[in-house]
């Protein structure tokens, strides 16, 4: 880029002036205040814009009020342009024309045409003046490096500034050695918190220890509790026993087990009696009331006294009245029986008078006796007939014998003696048989006796030796006599027997011939007596019935005085009829009567109940009962009291107390048990307290939330730190990135710049310094003698020369791309004459490559510098 002409409308002290420029070295010469700096500023302002009105000293508005601004004609890439700028917003109003093509261009094109040079780069690199060189010293080393970097890459000042800002921001976030930056503070806080947490974490070990202790203590506690429970029970028992001692003594005193307990005199019995007597009293009262009522009623009704009485005992009388018909029948029966009895007695008396000679009735024969008597009578009649026949025979024989031998009769017959002996034997047997028991035996015996007699009389007789007629006669007579005797004996015997029978049956006074009739009478009498007995019996029953009835009636109705039944019956019938009559009479009397009846019944029942009650207890009166009852109750009270005491004591205590020797002994035992309890309690309290403490500690540990709180705080802090660190990293990385990009962008030129700068610097310093070294962090120069000098060690002039050399080198090296003219405004003030000359020569040299506009007050320059374009500003 080459500036061809500067046209000033109005700028600072200039107005309407034109400065033509050529491609090489242009020198604009003028003393102070000739407008050198104004021109420098004019170029910058037209190309890059007017400074804002905040900096009026930099705006160079025309002092005479002419039009602010101007125009510059320049050539870029073989095309001519004309840019004009007048006052306006945002750095002034720009007009751009492509002169070659005669084309108006938009204002924004200017920036692109000038790129990558901007105002800052222009002022920093291309507009060289002493103050700007001087800033090298004012700036830090970093600034210098940045400047050089800036020089190294076009348009990098913005980025450098950003990188700076980023680094500053990053430094505020974190500095590895710092204390104040945010992350450093956070790290510190994190460390503090971590320590706190570690301290809090110590509670973890404590927790487990506590847990373990708690477990042990709990089992210990349980153990003690168990022991304590046992011991406490023991102590309690002793205490209880102690407290019960007096009771126990009472219990002992009340011991009267010997007294037997009588039953039937209990409270309930008393109550029963009371109830019963009350019932009696009540019913009696009711009865009396009813009686009075009835009496009053009767007074009106005028009832017979018997009926009145009856009414009272109707309950008892009515059954009697019910019996009355039967009794009446019985009474009639009685009469009939009495008649029968009299008749029967008369008949029996007749028979008795006939047969009972001695007041004793003969006895009746039994069947056997009857037969026997018949047999005997038959035998007797037979024997009598036989005797009569034998008597006749004998009479005949006697006649014969007397005829033959009347004496024979006197002779003794020895045979007859024999016969008598048999007969006697037979008789004995016969009589003996009478003593035998049983009729058959007696009969048998009698027959045997007869047989024996018969044998003696007939068999023996027949066996006697026969005689002749006489003898036969005698024997016949003797035989017949014997037979007669025998017959007589038999008759006697039979008669005897009959007499015996008669005697035995009380018929001694009667001839056997009368016996049959007597027997019939006896049987008749027997029957009569029997019937009499029956009748008497029936009569007795009937009489008893009647008398009982009468007695009963009399008992219940003392007023029924009639002794006679019939009269009584009449009375009763009257009663009944009265009753019947009364029934039909007014009902209230009936009601009262029935009520009275009921009352009486109730009273009777109640009295009976009382009586029964007393009887079952073997008592005579209620007083006796109450006496006994009182006794029993007292005894019961004692027993109850004792039982109550026993209950109060309790079976176990009682048993235990019975084992105790004395009160003192018991006290001692109780004392020791209590002591033991106290000991255990103390232990338990201690353990419980420890447990409570542990629980408290555990609760505290668990619930404090310290750990959790700290951890969450730490986590939050970590998040903050990460955010900070991230931001810091981003800042730093972007900064690094910018630096790296700038380095990359300038990287291929920087060595060349440095090299060129080194050459220039050598020339400027007359080769006192031969080399410039630029690293990202350091800038130093090498002296001819080989020593390295840092910027700070350089003199002001030498340092300015260094800057000048670098800037020129940059301009030269970048000329292919940028080719911005170098504007030097009195830049060599601090240069000595030689170096200034060297500087002029250097400028002359480089003006082959780039356009140089040198503004100077040094008149000598014209001599020392061959120039095609020398403009004197004072012209």
Q: CA-to-CA distance for 808 and 753, rounded, in angstroms?
A: 9
For another protein, which is the closer residue by CB, 120 or 585? 120
* Residue 544 is a binding residue for another protein (CB under 8 A): no
Distance in Å, CB of 700 to another protein, minimum: 10
For another protein, which is the closer residue by CB, 147 or 387? 147
Distance in Å, CB of 709 to another protein, minimum: 7
Q: CA-to-CA distance for 561 and 568, rounded, in angstroms?
A: 8
* Residue 744 is a binding residue for another protein (CB under 8 A): yes
Which residue among 23, 187, 536, 691 contacts another protein (CB under 8 A)?
A: 187
Distance in Å, CB of 830 to another protein, minimum: 33
Burial status of residue 727 (CB atoms within 10 A of its CB: 0-12, 13-18, 19 or more): middle
* Residue 696 is a binding residue for another protein (CB under 8 A): no
Distance in Å, CB of 721 to another protein, minimum: 6
Q: CA-to-CA distance for 802 and 799, rounded, in angstroms?
A: 5
For another protein, the binding residues in 649-688 under the rule CB under 8 A are none
Helix axis angle, 439-454 to 469-504, nearest 10°: 160
Q: CA-to-CA distance for 816 and 749, rounded, in angstroms?
A: 12
SS3 606: helix
Contacts of 125 (CB under 8 A, 6+ apart): 150, 151, 807, 810, 811, 820
Which residue among 58, 101, 103, 211 contacts another protein (CB under 8 A)?
A: 211
For another protein, which is the closer residue by CB, 744 or 784? 744
For another protein, which is the closer residue by CB, 300 or 716? 716
For another protein, which is the closer residue by CB, 216 or 407? 216
For another protein, the binding residues in 110-139 under the rule CB under 8 A are 111, 115-116, 118
Q: CA-to-CA distance for 578 and 595, rounded, in angstroms?
A: 18
* Residue 209 is a binding residue for another protein (CB under 8 A): yes
Give the closest residue to 684 by CA, choosing from 692, 696, 673: 692
Distance in Å, CB of 81 to another protein, minimum: 19
Q: Which stretch binds another protein (CB under 8 A): 149-157, 353-361, 372-380, 787-795?
A: 149-157
Which residue among 21, 670, 745, 757 contacts another protein (CB under 8 A)?
A: 745
For another protein, which is the closer residue by CB, 118 or 475? 118
**CA count, 13 A, side-chain hemisphere, 635:** 16
Q: Which helix (H) or strand (E) holds 347?
A: helix 314-355
For another protein, which is the closer residue by CB, 6 or 818? 818
C-alpha dihedral (533, 537, 543, 546), degrees to nearest 10:
-150
Contacts of 789 (CB under 8 A, 6+ apart): 769, 780, 781, 782, 783
Q: Which stretch binds another protein (CB under 8 A): 183-191, 342-350, 536-544, 865-873?
A: 183-191
Concatenating the DSSP letter of every residue in 56-102 gives: HHHH---TT---SEEEEEEEETTEEEEEEEES-TTT-EEEEEETTTT
* Residue 698 is a binding residue for another protein (CB under 8 A): yes
Q: Which stretch binds another protein (CB under 8 A): 52-60, 388-396, 539-547, 710-718?
A: 710-718
Measured at the CA of 760, the angle between CA 758 and CA 761, to 5 degrees, comes to: 60
For another protein, which is the closer residue by CB, 742 or 772? 742
Q: Which stretch binds another protein (CB under 8 A): 62-70, 108-116, 572-580, 630-638?
A: 108-116
Q: Which stretch binds another protein (CB under 8 A): 224-232, 371-379, 641-649, 707-715?
A: 707-715
For another protein, the binding residues in 712-741 under the rule CB under 8 A are 712, 714-723, 725-727, 729-734, 736-741
Distance in Å, CB of 703 to another protein, minimum: 8
Distance in Å, CB of 743 to another protein, minimum: 7
* Residue 98 is a binding residue for another protein (CB under 8 A): no
For another protein, which is the closer residue by CB, 176 or 260? 176
For another protein, which is the closer residue by CB, 119 or 436? 119
Q: Which stretch binds another protein (CB under 8 A): 44-52, 128-136, 205-213, 325-333?
A: 205-213
In degrees and rounded to multiples of 5, residue 873 shows phi and psi of: -70, -25
Distance in Å, CB of 118 to another protein, minimum: 8
For another protein, which is the closer residue by CB, 368 or 692? 692
* Residue 203 is a binding residue for another protein (CB under 8 A): yes
* Residue 819 is a binding residue for another protein (CB under 8 A): no
Which residue among 101, 540, 708, 833 contacts another protein (CB under 8 A)?
A: 708
For another protein, which is the closer residue by CB, 99 or 161? 161
Q: CA-to-CA distance for 612 and 596, rounded, in angstroms?
A: 23
* Residue 207 is a binding residue for another protein (CB under 8 A): yes
- Is the Cβ–Cβ distance between 812 and 126 less than 8 Å? no
For another protein, which is the closer residue by CB, 188 or 300? 188
Beta-strand ranges (E) seen in 738-865 are 769-774, 779-783, 788-790, 822-825, 852-856
Distance in Å, CB of 752 to another protein, minimum: 17
For another protein, which is the closer residue by CB, 287 or 694? 694
Tokens describing residue 443: 């009969």
* Residue 154 is a binding residue for another protein (CB under 8 A): yes
Tokens describing residue 322: 């019910």
Distance in Å, CB of 197 to another protein, minimum: 9
Which residue among 137, 190, 245, 454 contacts another protein (CB under 8 A)?
A: 190
What is the side-by-side strand order in the sheet with 852-856? 127-129, 822-825, 852-856, 25-29, 869-872
Distance in Å, CB of 206 to another protein, minimum: 8
Concatenating the DSSP letter of every residue in 509-522 gives: TS-HHHHHHHHHHH
Q: CA-to-CA distance for 622 and 284, rounded, in angstroms?
A: 17
* Residue 431 is a binding residue for another protein (CB under 8 A): no
Distance in Å, CB of 208 to another protein, minimum: 4
For another protein, which is the closer residue by CB, 191 or 793? 191
802: phi > 0 → left, psi -120 to 50 → alpha, else beta; which?
Answer: alpha
Q: CA-to-CA distance for 709 and 637, rounded, in angstroms?
A: 78
Number of residues binding to another protein, judged by CB under 8 A: 66
Beta-strand ranges (E) seen in 401-534 are none
Distance in Å, CB of 51 to another protein, minimum: 16
* Residue 159 is a binding residue for another protein (CB under 8 A): yes
For another protein, the binding residues in 162-181 under the rule CB under 8 A are 162, 169, 174, 176
Q: Centre a 10 Å sphere on the Cβ of residue 92 and count the other Cβ atoms it contains.
A: 20
Tokens describing residue 826: 């009195």
Q: CA-to-CA distance for 337 and 56, rounded, in angstroms?
A: 188
Tokens describing residue 259: 């007294």
77: phi > 0 → left, psi -120 to 50 → alpha, else beta; which?
Answer: left
Contact residues for another protein, defined by CB under 8 A: 111, 115-116, 118, 153-156, 158-159, 162, 169, 174, 176, 183, 187, 190, 201, 203-205, 207-209, 211-212, 215, 698, 701-703, 705, 707-709, 711-712, 714-723, 725-727, 729-734, 736-745
């Amino acid at each position: 880029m080459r500036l061809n002409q500067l046209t000033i409308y109005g700028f600072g002290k200039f107005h309407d002036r034109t400065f033509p420029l050529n491609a090489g070295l242009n020198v604009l010469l003028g003393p102070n205040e000739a407008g050198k700096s104004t021109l420098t500023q004019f170029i910058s302002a037209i190309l890059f814009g007017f400074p804002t009105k905040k900096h009026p000293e930099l705006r160079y508005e025309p002092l005479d009020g002419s039009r602010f601004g101007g125009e510059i004609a320049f050539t870029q890439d073989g095309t001519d342009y004309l840019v004009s700028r007048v006052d306006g917003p945002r750095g002034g109003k720009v007009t751009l024309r492509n002169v070659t093509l005669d084309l108006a261009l938009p204002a924004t094109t200017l920036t692109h045409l000038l790129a990558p040079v901007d105002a800052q780069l222009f002022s920093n690199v291309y507009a060289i003046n002493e103050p700007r060189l001087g800033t090298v010293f004012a700036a830090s080393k970093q600034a210098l490096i940045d400047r050089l970097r800036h020089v190294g890459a076009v348009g990098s000042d913005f980025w450098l500034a950003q990188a700076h800002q980023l680094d500053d921001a990053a430094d505020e976030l974190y500095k590895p050695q710092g204390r104040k930056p945010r992350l450093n503070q956070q790290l510190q806080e994190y460390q503090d918190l971590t320590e706190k947490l570690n301290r809090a974490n110590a509670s973890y070990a404590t927790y487990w220890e506590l847990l373990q202790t708690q477990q042990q203590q709990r089992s210990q506690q349980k153990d003690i509790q168990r022991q304590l429970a046992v011991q406490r029970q023991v102590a309690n028992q002793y205490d209880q026993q102690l407290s019960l001692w007096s009771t126990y003594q009472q219990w002992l005193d009340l011991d009267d087990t010997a007294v037997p307990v009588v039953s039937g005199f209990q409270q309930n019995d008393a109550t029963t009696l009371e109830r019963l007597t009350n019932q009696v009293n009540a019913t009696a009262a009711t009865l009396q009331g009813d009686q009075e009522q009835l009496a009053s009623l009767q007074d009106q009704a005028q009832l017979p006294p018997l009926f009145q009485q009856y009414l009272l005992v109707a309950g008892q009388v009515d059954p009697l009245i019910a019996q009355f018909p039967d009794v009446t029948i019985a009474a009639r029966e009685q009469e009939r029986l009495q008649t029968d009895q009299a008749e029967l007695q008369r008949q029996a008396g007749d028979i008795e008078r006939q047969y009972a000679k001695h007041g004793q009735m003969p006895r009746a024969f039994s069947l056997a006796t009857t037969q026997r008597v018949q047999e005997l009578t038959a035998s007797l009649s037979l024997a009598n007939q036989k005797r009569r026949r034998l008597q006749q025979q004998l009479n005949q024989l006697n006649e014969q014998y007397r005829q033959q031998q009347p004496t024979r009769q006197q002779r003794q017959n020895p045979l007859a003696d024999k016969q008598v002996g048999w007969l006697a034997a037979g008789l004995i047997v016969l009589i003996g048989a009478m003593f035998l028991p049983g009729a058959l035996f007696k009969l048998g015996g009698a027959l045997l006796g007869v047989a024996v007699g018969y044998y003696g009389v007939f068999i023996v007789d027949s066996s006697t030796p026969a005689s002749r007629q006489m003898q036969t006669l005698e024997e016949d007579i003797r035989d017949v006599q014997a037979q007669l005797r025998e017959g007589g004996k038999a008759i006697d015997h039979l008669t005897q027997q009959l007499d015996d029978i008669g005697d035995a049956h009380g018929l001694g006074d009667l001839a056997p011939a009368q016996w049959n009739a007597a027997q019939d009478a006896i049987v008749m009498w027997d029957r009569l007596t029997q019937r009499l007995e029956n009748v008497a019996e029936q009569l007795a029953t009937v009489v008893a019935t009647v008398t009982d009835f009468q007695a009963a009636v009399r008992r219940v109705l003392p007023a029924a005085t009639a002794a006679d039944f019939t009269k009584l019956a009449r009375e009763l019938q009257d009663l009944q009829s009265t009753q019947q009559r009364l029934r039909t009479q007014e009902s209230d009397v009936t009601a009262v009567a029935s009520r009275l009846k009921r009352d009486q019944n109730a009273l009777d029942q109640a009295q009976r109940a009382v009586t029964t009650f007393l009887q079952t207890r073997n008592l005579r009166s209620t007083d006796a009962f109450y006496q006994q009852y009182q006794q029993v109750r007292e005894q019961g009270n004692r027993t109850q009291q004792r039982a109550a005491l026993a209950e109060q004591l309790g079976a176990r205590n009682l048993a235990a107390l019975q084992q105790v020797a004395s009160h003192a002994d018991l006290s001692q035992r109780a004392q020791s048990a209590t002591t033991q309890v106290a000991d255990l309690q103390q232990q338990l309290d201690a353990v419980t307290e420890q447990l409570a403490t542990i629980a408290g500690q555990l609760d505290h540990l668990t619930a404090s939330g310290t750990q959790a709180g700290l951890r969450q705080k730490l986590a939050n802090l970590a998040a903050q730190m990460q955010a900070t660190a991230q931001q810091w990293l981003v800042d730093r990385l972007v900064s690094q990135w910018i630096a790296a990009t700038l380095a990359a962008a300038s990287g291929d030129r920087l060595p060349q710049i440095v090299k060129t700068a080194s050459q220039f610097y050598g020339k400027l310093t007359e080769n006192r310094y031969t080399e410039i070294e630029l690293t990202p962090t350091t800038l130093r120069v090498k002296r001819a003698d080989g020593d390295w000098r840092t910027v700070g060690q350089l003199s002001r002039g030498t340092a300015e020369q260094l800057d000048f050399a670098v800037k020129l080198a940059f301009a030269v090296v970048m000329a292919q791309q940028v080719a911005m003219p170098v504007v030097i405004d009195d830049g060599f003030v601090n240069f000595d004459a030689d170096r200034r000359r060297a500087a002029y020569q250097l400028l002359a040299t480089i003006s082959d490559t780039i356009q140089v506009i040198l503004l100077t007050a040094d008149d000598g320059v014209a001599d020392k510098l061959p120039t095609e374009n020398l403009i004197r500003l004072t012209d």
